[in-house]
Amino acid sequence: ALRGSGLPLAAPCDRMLQPPISTTSPAKSCPAAAPAASSSGRAWTVSLALPGSIVDNAQTQELRSHLVGQVARAATIFNVDEIVVFSSDGASPAAPQRTDGSVFMARLLQYLECPQYLRKAIFPMHPDLRCVGLLAPLDAANHPRATEQCAYREGLISEKGGSKDGRSGAIVGLPKEVSVDRRLPAGTRVTVRMPSRPGEPAAVVPPREPREKLGLHWGFSVRLAKDLPSVWSECPFGGGYDLSLGTSDKGDSDWLQGEGFRLPAFKHLLIVFGGVEGLEPVVEAHPELAAHGIETSALFDLYLNLCPGQGSRTIRTEEALLVGLAALQPHTRRAGAS
């Protein structure tokens, strides 16, 4: 599965990181890497969870795709490292001719996160991807242009034999393939650290290295969860999420008043958004949670209203993402850095 997804939504490929390589043609420095290179990196992560059923309210394929594109853009703008798409038991069933909302959203998120120069090789043609050409690009740090010199690049191990010394070759969005420092199966997606001197191979590194060493937002992983509790139980981080934050118009609305609010220090933050009717119906529709009479707010360390005083009766999930993540960003940076 691609980038930690719960289902093989794309062609099978491992998720590793490969460094960008130098070229003899004139090249610009990667604008996204320049300011981050002076920082000490970022060890903490931000995960976002939301129900896939939000796309079922869109009437057409174009509108469904556009909604997912908005989610991907928001996650990229605010440096989200993981997106968890969970199924909500109370959601309306998808139309017979439609893919399940959660699978549809996860597939498009995976596609949009992947650099453009790798998509054709990784993703086979699929009806769900029919309208992706209409979506705005993420323009993320892991989507470098061919004319940019970056410290890291995303790549795909090619079918060719590679170098004579047994190393594999990788497609990294440059005019020529680069040699990597090991032999890997063809079709493996990698992150590479580009060599500092001509003739050296690119080093295959973990996808987290650009974030941890340079502070770069290096895309996001996508995970499917069968229900809300699985968002926690299937967490990929050792020790799980040490801070969870639920969002609702029924949450605490006073946190924005004054200057005393601070998020507790964390290493892995989880922010959960609800669907059209919020998080409460999701909890009420879950058999085990409902049987134990668990209040929605009890599932989270913090339960906040991220847009108090709203003028509309409802805030769509894709709107709540932008409003909420913008409001939380200075707090997450301070708490994560501490």
Residue pLDDT, tens place only, 29-57: 564 444 444 457 999 999 999 999 999 98
Helix (H, G, I), strand (E, B) or coil at 285: helix
8 Å CB contact between 246 and 296: yes
Per-residue model confidence (pLDDT) at position 96: 57
Amino acid at 182: R
Contact partners, residue 199, CB within 8 Å, separation at least 6: none
Per-residue model confidence (pLDDT) at position 221: 97
Per-residue model confidence (pLDDT) at position 40: 78
Q: Per-residue pLDDT for 1 more than 70?
A: no
Surface-to-core class of residue 96, CB atoms within 10 Å of its CB (0-12 exposed, 13-18 middle, 19+ buried): exposed
Rg of the Cα atoms in the chain: 21
Per-residue model confidence (pLDDT) at position 94: 52
For 245, phi and psi rounded to 5 degrees? Answer: -130, 120
Name the token pair of 82. 């993981």
Place of tokens 């010394």: 165
Q: Where are the alpha helices (DSSP H) in the chain?
A: 33-36, 61-77, 101-113, 116-122, 209-214, 228-233, 280-285, 287-291, 317-337
Name the token pair of 67. 């909604």
How do residues 185-222 score in pLDDT, each as one tens digit? 999 999 999 998 888 999 999 999 999 999 999 999 99
Strands (E), 9-69: 15-18, 28-29, 45-51
Place of tokens 């798409």: 85
For 279, phi and psi rounded to 5 degrees? Answer: -85, -25
Pairing of strands 148-149, 82-86: unpaired
How do residues 168-194 score in pLDDT, each as one tens digit? 999 999 999 999 999 999 999 999 999
Q: Report the distance separating Cα 182 and Cα 307, nearest Å.
A: 50
